[in-house]
Amino acid sequence: MSAIPTQSVAKPLLLTNIGQLLTLKDVAGRNEPRRGRELLELGILQNAAVFCRDGKIAAVGSEVEVGARATQEMGADLRVFDCRRGTLLPGFVDSHTHPVFVSPRLIDFEQRIQGNTYEEIAKAGGGIRSSIEGVRNASEEELASTVLRVFEDMEREGTTTIEAKSGYGLSTDSELKSLRAIRRAAQQWPGTVTSTLLGAHVVPEEFQQRPDSYVDLVCNEMIPKAAREKLAAFVDVFCERGAFTIAQTERVFDAAQRAGLGMRAHVCQFTPQDLSKLARFEPASYDHLDCLTDKDLQSLAQQRTIATLLPGASYFLAHSYPIARRLIDAGAAIALATDFNPGTSPTTSMPLVLSLACTQMRMAPAEAISAATVNAAHAVRLDRQKGSIETGKDADLAIFDTKDYREICYWFGRETCRATVLKGQLAIH
Ligand code: NIG
Ligand code: FE
């Protein structure tokens, strides 16, 4: 699975004076998502340093040894960054975001405060459909500058890899324009972006009477065109009452498979669904899972598909939270992401998501960190390059002004990320 290429030249960099270094390295050296108790293993090193060269991690280990090697190899070319005893960890992988929209949805917001539900508001013409016109009328450049601002806001909170979806254009032209805007923004941002076509977000008004013809359009036009132009690595579907059925999701996944794209789906957000028909596609991720049935929970635990939990959406909709503890105990591989979008989760902050995961879903801070790094990297199939601090992986790091890693989940609404490293490039906030 590929990410959008960026052109960036990073100077060799040595990170020193680290308090806790969370490597997230697998003790057994496997490259698998973490399940059960493995989520608690952060691979913490003390008195360690990280040496980054050519955008990769060249060495990680004892401060004395790594420091000596970096100085010897690079001499005066080496940039040294003092972490001031802060916490160093892999940059967050935000594996589920919808950044291509024009306006916040303030009418929906006030209506929900008055007691209307997300589904009621959507049925009455609000919701996703009310974001379409803005995107259709915007130029690719305008959308790209909005998206870039989102990427930069995410980065200031420690995110270095982002999965970004289209999904508010809902015509072939506007979906492709949204994906081009993501690509354009990604080329101007030193972090890593992987994009997803979400043409099957809802049925737009003009297809209201013939939803299957809209699915035809997604399958026969949007997916092949996005694949041909290499604009997306994944195809996503909002599989839910009022959006798309399991049968329609199967059709979209079939088309994605034919086009050589990966698959992911929004499932069980408001209503339980039978996921067994989707298992044969082995999607990279199922996202939300707020209303998972017991049967699907047991079966998910046996699958390679990542269960991506999005507590920001539960918080913003004042909805029940996904059953993280039961998923973990059953052995499912879970990830955490922001679900940044104008309707259900307008947050760019992974630390806030981690805080919600701990306080509302009873995840331990260590579990939340594993879910937001190594497992989220698996959710976007970038696990060979991202998600842990190991020699040869991309130099994507976050430095927090905290003595103890648990503080990353403890403080909320307080920005403690001091700097990020994006493919070897240092950004001090
Ligand atoms: O992940 N559920 C579908 N998609 C988004 C909501 C999008 C919107 O309301 O604009 C979600 O919650
Ligand atoms: Fe979403």
Output the pLDDT for position 4: 83
Whole-number Å distance, alpha carbon 266 to ligand 2 midpoint, is 6
Token pair belonging to 57: 């991690």
Q: What mean pLDDT is predicted for residues 266-280? A: 95
Output the pLDDT for position 7: 61
Q: List the one residue out of 258, 256, 300 whose CA is nearest residue 275.
A: 300
The model's pTM: 0.97
Percent residues over pLDDT 90 in the chain? 95
Percent residues over pLDDT 70 in the chain? 99
- Distance (Å, rounded) from C-alpha 88 to C-alpha 44? 10
Substitution candidate for ligand 1 out of 95, 96, 98 with most atoms within 8 A of CB: 98
Output the pLDDT for position 8: 65
pLDDT for 34 beyond 80: yes
Residue nearest (by alpha carbon) to ligand 1 atom 1: 339
> At CA 225, angle to CA 341 and CA 379, rounded to 5?
45
- The string of DSSP letters for 224-291 reads HHHHHTT--SEEEEEBSTTSB-HHHHHHHHHHHHHTT-EEEEEESSSS---GGGGGGG--SEEEE-TT
pLDDT for 215 beyond 90: yes
Q: What mean pLDDT is predicted for residues 364-391? A: 98
* Ligand 1 cavity residues, CB under 6 Å: 98, 127-128, 131, 238, 266, 269, 313, 339, 341-344
Per-residue pLDDT band at 312 (split at 50, 70, 90): very high
Domains and CATH numbers, the chain: 13-90+388-428 (2.30.40.10), 92-379 (3.20.20.140)
CB of 208 closer than 8 Å to CB of 257: no
Output the pLDDT for position 238: 98
Substitution candidate for ligand 1 out of 102, 109, 121, 128 with most atoms within 8 A of CB: 128
Give the full edge-to-edge strand order of the sheet including 13-16.
56-62, 48-53, 13-16, 79-82
- Distance (Å, rounded) from C-alpha 130 to C-alpha 275? 29
Token pair belonging to 423: 């493919």
Name the more confident of 193 and 2: 193
Output the pLDDT for position 97: 99
pLDDT tens sequence across 380-410? 999 999 999 999 999 999 999 999 999 999 9
Whole-number Å distance, alpha carbon 183 to ligand 1 midpoint, is 21
Backbone angles phi, psi at 53, to 5 degrees: -145, 135
pLDDT for 424 beyond 80: yes
The average confidence (pLDDT) of the chain is 96
Output the pLDDT for position 310: 98
pLDDT for 121 beyond 80: yes
> At CA 307, angle to CA 37 and CA 216, rounded to 5?
165
User: Considering Cα of 273, then 274, then 280, then 286, what sign does the dihedral take?
Assistant: positive
